[in-house]
């Protein structure tokens, strides 16, 4: 038994949940469509290039959560799941998750996207453990700020180390599945790195390092 760790966006699902949430919020009129979609695309492109300013991005994407009651956001998220997420869940990803579960492995998703957006998606795969960027809440309302360190790039390792210390789990023998070169610190940390639906840069890195490369689409 070991840890089986998964990235979420473009790994377990065939798209980026944070980007799609921004599109959804634009479509329902919860944000100004014209300006928000332009910025949403800009940050998405910066991430792909490995140039994302995570703090600038989180200031942008968490702000709308502070403008509406939690009950409204939860109702919208159910619509979001139906309209944007259900169609990009990947059966091949589910099969790998199930295979690890059958071996008795501990399943964990670690993602830069905030917990509000990601938790219901992770639950769809039957995965109990999630490490994500945490959106600050006060008196049952999101503030638009980040709570703690963003779970991004090397920040994922910080979140993971805290979780390991809390749970007593071991990184020994762990596997990590990811699509993005932004996750290189995590891929280099584990004993069994696996690239999935990889971007061009990570595909080349995987080839150079002899890492297995999978396509779950």
7, 8, 13, 18 alpha-carbon torsion, rounded to 10°: -140
Cα 112 off chain centre by: 5
Residue 124, phi-psi category: left (phi > 0), alpha (psi -120 to 50), beta (remainder): alpha
DSSP 132-191: EEEEEEETTEEEEEEESS--STHHHHHHHHHHHHHH----TT-EEEES-GGGHHHHHHSS
CA distance 58 to 65: 11
**CA nearest neighbour of 126 among 107, 144, 150:** 107
Report the SS3 class of residue 82.
helix
**Whether 7 is catalytic:** yes
**Whether 128 is catalytic:** no
Other beta carbons within 10 Å of 124: 14
CA distance 179 to 10: 6
Positions marked active-site: 7, 9
């Amino acid at each position: 038994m070991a840890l089986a760790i998964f990235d979420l966006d473009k790994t377990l699902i065939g798209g980026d949940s944070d980007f799609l949430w921004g599109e959804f919020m634009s479509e329902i009129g919860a944000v100004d469509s014209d300006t928000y979609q332009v910025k949403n695309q800009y940050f998405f492109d910066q991430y792909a290039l490995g140039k994302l300013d995570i703090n600038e991005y989180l200031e942008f994407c968490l702000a709308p959560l502070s403008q509406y009651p939690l009950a409204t956001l939860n109702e919208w998220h159910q619509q979001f799941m139906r309209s944007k997420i259900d169609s990009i869940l990947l059966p091949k990803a589910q099969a790998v998750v199930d295979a690890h579960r059958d071996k008795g492995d501990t399943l964990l998703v670690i993602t830069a996207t905030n917990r509000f957006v990601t938790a219901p998606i992770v639950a769809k795969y039957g995965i109990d453990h999630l490490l994500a960027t945490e959106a600050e809440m006060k008196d049952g309302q999101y503030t638009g700020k980040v709570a703690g360190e963003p779970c991004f790039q090397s920040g994922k390792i910080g979140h993971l180390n805290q979780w390991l210390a809390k749970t007593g789990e071991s990184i020994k023998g762990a596997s990590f599945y990811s699509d993005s070169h932004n996750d290189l610190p995590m891929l280099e940390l584990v004993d069994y790195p696996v690239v999935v639906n990889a971007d061009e840069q990570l595909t080349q890195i995987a080839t150079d390092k002899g890492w297995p490369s999978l396509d779950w689409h």
